[in-house]
Structure 1
Amino acid sequence: MLGLIIFCSILKETSGQKIIRVFSSDAENATMPCYDAPADCTSTTWAYYSKRGSQGIELFSNGKIHDRDKHDRLSLGSDCSLNIYTTTTKDIGVYTCWLGVKDTQKTFGNVYFHVLQVSSPSSQTQIRPGSSVTLSCQLHFYYEHSCETLLTSEGLRLIWVNESGVNLQTDSRFQISSSLNYCNISMTTKLLNEDDSTEWRCQITKGSEVKTSVSYTVSYLASTPTPVNKTQVISAVLAAVAALLVLIVIIGLILKNRAGRKADHAELISNFTPVTPAAADINGKMMCGQMTDDVAYAEVIISSNLCKVRRNVQSDDKVTYVAIRGGKV
C-alpha cells in the first residue's frame, strides 16, 4: 500500500536538487517522489543506482518503462513519481529523476530508499508455549557511512513495541539487543499461552513520528491429530464382535442348562414309583415325621433338600422321602 510509505524530511537542497529518504517495510509498495516535475511526464527520466559509484540503470524515459527485471513492479504516477510494488531488499539504492535529455537535463531530486525487514530463525514448529523465540529486525539502507552515523545524523531509532505501542525494552520479560553497525535490533522472549495471536512491531521512528514498521504475529500450530490406522480399527472392531459373540454363546449355554435342570426336576417329581409302607421302614421312623397307615413313600433321586430335619440319613445319601397323603378307599 502506497499510503504505508513515509517520506523523511529533506536533508539538503542545492540548486533545486533535493535529497529525500524513503523507508518501506519488506514486501510493501513504495513511492519515489519527483518534486517540481513538469506536467508532461514523457520528458521525465528515472534512473537507479544500487551503490555509490555504480553505473545507473534507466528505469523510465519517454513515457515508457525500460527495466525488464522490474517492469511488472514499476509504474509512473500522475505527478511523475515512481511507484515500486512489492519491494525487496534488492530495491535499496538511490533513485534519481530529471527532466529532458542528458545534455540539457535538470535534476529534480535524489531519493535514498531503505527497507525494514523482520526475520525469525525459529521454525514454525518451535513457535509454541514454553519455547523461546528471537526476532531480528534489520534496516537495509543505502548510505555513504555507517548505520550508526545514519541514525545519529537523522535522529532515527530502531525499537520493538507491543500492540499498544509500548516499548518492549521497558519490560524485563523481553531481552533487547542492538547492533548499530548493521542497523539490527533483536528481541528474545519466552512464549506464554496468552501470546497466541499477539502482535509485536519493529519500528523506525524519528521522535514521536513512525517512519515505517514491520509486524510479527505469534501463531501457535493447532494440535495435529494422530493419523488413523484403518487396519488397526478394523482389527479392533472384529475383536469386539468376536468377544460379543462369545458372550452371547456363554449366556445361551447358561440359560439352556438352567432350563434343562428345571425340566429334569419336574419329570422326576411327576414320574415317581409308589412303594409299600414296609419298604420305607427306616428304624420305624419317617424322615419328615412319624409313619402312619395312609402314607405312601416314593423314591425320588434329587439333590435338593426338601425336609428341614434329616434323621438317620448320611451326608452322601442320594435319597429324599416324600410323604403323600391319599384318600381312604
Structure 2
Amino acid sequence: MADKCDLCLLGLIILSSLLTGTSGVTNVFISSGENVSLSCNKALSDCKSTTWTYNRFRRPSVELITGGIKNKDTERHERLSLESDCSLNIKNITGEDYGLYSCSQYVNGRPQGPDADVYLHVLHVSVSPSSSASSSSSSSSSSSPSSSSSSQTEISPGRSVTLSCQLYSDILSCDLDSSDGLEVLWVNQADVDLKLYSRYQILSSSAPDRCIIISLTTTLLNEDDNREWRCQLTRRDQLETSVRYTVKYSDPADTASETEVCVNAGSLYRVIVIIVEIAVFAAPTVILLQIICARRAGRKDSKHPEEIEMPTILE
C-alpha cells in the first residue's frame, strides 16, 4: 500500500507540472555521461540548513544532503557536490540517476521558503551485445538542453549493429508523452528521421524503468565510416537533449602494419629454427671429427724413436 501511495503522489506531482505548466516540478532532461546541476529555491544566506532528498518508485526516500553535508552512505555520494547557491551537482549521470530530487531548507524545524522539486529524466544509448562490438564513450560536461554525449565503436562493414536509445523515467510521466509532446527518434547528421530510409529497422518498446525505447538496427556499409547517427529527445518540438553515435572503422594502414610485423616476426622465428636444426645435426659430425683427429695425433706421438725411419744418406 505504501508503494502505491508513493507512486500516486509522485505521479500527481509530475502530472500537475507537465499538464498545467506550473513551476511546482522542474523537469530536467539529460544524457548519460554528462554532468547536471539541479537548482534549489535558496531562502537562506548559507546552505547549512539545506536537505536534498531523492525519490523513486519502489525505492525508499534517500537523503543525499543533510544540513549541507553529503551523506556518505549513499551509492552516488562521490559524484555529488553542493554549490554555494545550494544547487546539487551530479557528475557522470547514469540511467539509475533518474527520479525526483527535492531541496528543502529548515530553521528550528520550520521550512524556509518553498521546496524545489526537480524530476530528472535520463537519455541513454547502448549497443546490443549481439553486435559483439567494443565501444568507448566520451561526454561533455554541459547541462544545457542541447548538449549531447557521443560514443564511437570500432566495427567493420557488413556487420549488423543494433543501437538502443532509452529514456529512463517514471512510468506515469512517460504516459504523458503524447499530450506533452515528448518524442524520441533517430536522425542523421542532416536531422532527417531515419524512419524514412528502408535500410534502417526502427522499433519502439518500453520497460518498467525505461518508458521509451527506440532501437535502430542496420547492416553497416563501406560508406558508413565516420557516419553519425543521433538519438534526440524533443518536447513540444524543442530539443531537450541528444546522444550522438559515430561509426568508426579500423584503419586499414594499421591493420597492414600489424600484419607486416607479424610476418617479420614469423620469418625471424623460422630462421632461428633452421639455425638450431643445423646446429643439432652438425654437432655430432664435429665431435666425431675431433675424436678421429685426436686418435691420429695420439698414435703418431706414441711411436718409439727406433721405429722412426732415418733418412738415407747418399754416398
TM-score (normalizing by structure 2): 0.63
Distance 1:28 1:123, change over 3 A: same
Residue 133 of structure 2 corresponds to which residue in structure 1? Answer: 124
How far, CA to CA, are the matches of 1:131 and 1:36 in structure 2?
53
**1:153 counterpart = 2:179:** yes
Structure with more helix by fraction: 2
Distance 1:40 1:238, change over 3 A: closer
**1:77 counterpart = 2:105:** no
One-letter amino acid of the counterpart of residue 22, structure 1: V
Distance 1:17 1:200, change over 3 A: closer
How far, CA to CA, are the matches of 1:31 and 1:49 in structure 2?
17
Q: RCO higher in 1 or 2 (8 Å CA, sep ≥ 6)?
A: 2
Residue 35 of structure 2 corresponds to which residue in structure 1? Answer: 29
Q: Deviations for 1:177-196, whole angstroms, at most 9, x for unmatched residues? A: 11156410011122111211
Residue 202 of structure 1 corresponds to which residue in structure 2? Answer: 231
Note if contact 1:12-1:19 (Cα within 8 Å) is conserved in structure 2: no
Residue 169 of structure 2 corresponds to which residue in structure 1? Answer: 141
One-letter amino acid of the counterpart of residue 69, structure 2: K
Distance 1:65 1:12, change over 3 A: farther
Note if contact 1:37-1:79 (Cα within 8 Å) is conserved in structure 2: no
Distance 1:215 1:11, change over 3 A: same
Q: Post-superposition shift, 1:214? A: 1.0
Q: Deviations for 1:20-45, whole angstroms, at most 9, x for unmatched residues? A: 21111111111212235434222221
Moved more, 118-127 or 69-78: 118-127
* Structure with larger Rg: 1
Distance 1:101 1:34, change over 3 A: same
**1:170 counterpart = 2:196:** yes
Residue 112 of structure 1 corresponds to which residue in structure 2? Answer: 119
How far, CA to CA, are the matches of 2:108 and 2:124 in structure 1?
36
Distance 1:138 1:30, change over 3 A: same
Structure 2 gaps of 5+ residues are: 1-15, 135-153, 275-315
How far, CA to CA, are the matches of 1:51 and 1:218 in structure 2?
36
Note if contact 2:181-2:237 (Cα within 8 Å) is conserved in structure 1: no
How far, CA to CA, are the matches of 1:71 and 1:199 in structure 2?
34
Residue 64 of structure 2 corresponds to which residue in structure 1? Answer: 59
In the comparison of the two structures, how many residue pairs are matched? Answer: 227
How far, CA to CA, are the matches of 1:91 and 1:25 in structure 2?
11
Aligned-CA RMSD value: 3.0
SS in structure 1 opposite 2:18?
A: coil
Q: Post-superposition shift, 1:50? A: 3.0
| 206, 210, 213: which one aligns with 1:184 | 213
Q: Post-superposition shift, 1:171? A: 2.2
Q: Deviations for 1:19-76, whole angstroms, at most 9, x for unmatched residues? A: 1211111111112122354342222211111326x43211113222124432321112
Q: Post-superposition shift, 1:130? A: 1.8
Structure 1 gaps of 5+ residues are: 1-8, 240-329
SS in structure 2 opposite 1:47?
A: strand
Residue 138 of structure 2 corresponds to which residue in structure 1? Answer: none
How far, CA to CA, are the matches of 1:47 and 1:23 in structure 2?
19
Q: Deviations for 1:112-151, whole angstroms, at most 9, x for unmatched residues? A: 11211111112227821122211111111124x273x131
TM-score (normalizing by structure 1): 0.61
How far, CA to CA, are the matches of 1:131 and 1:164 in structure 2?
24
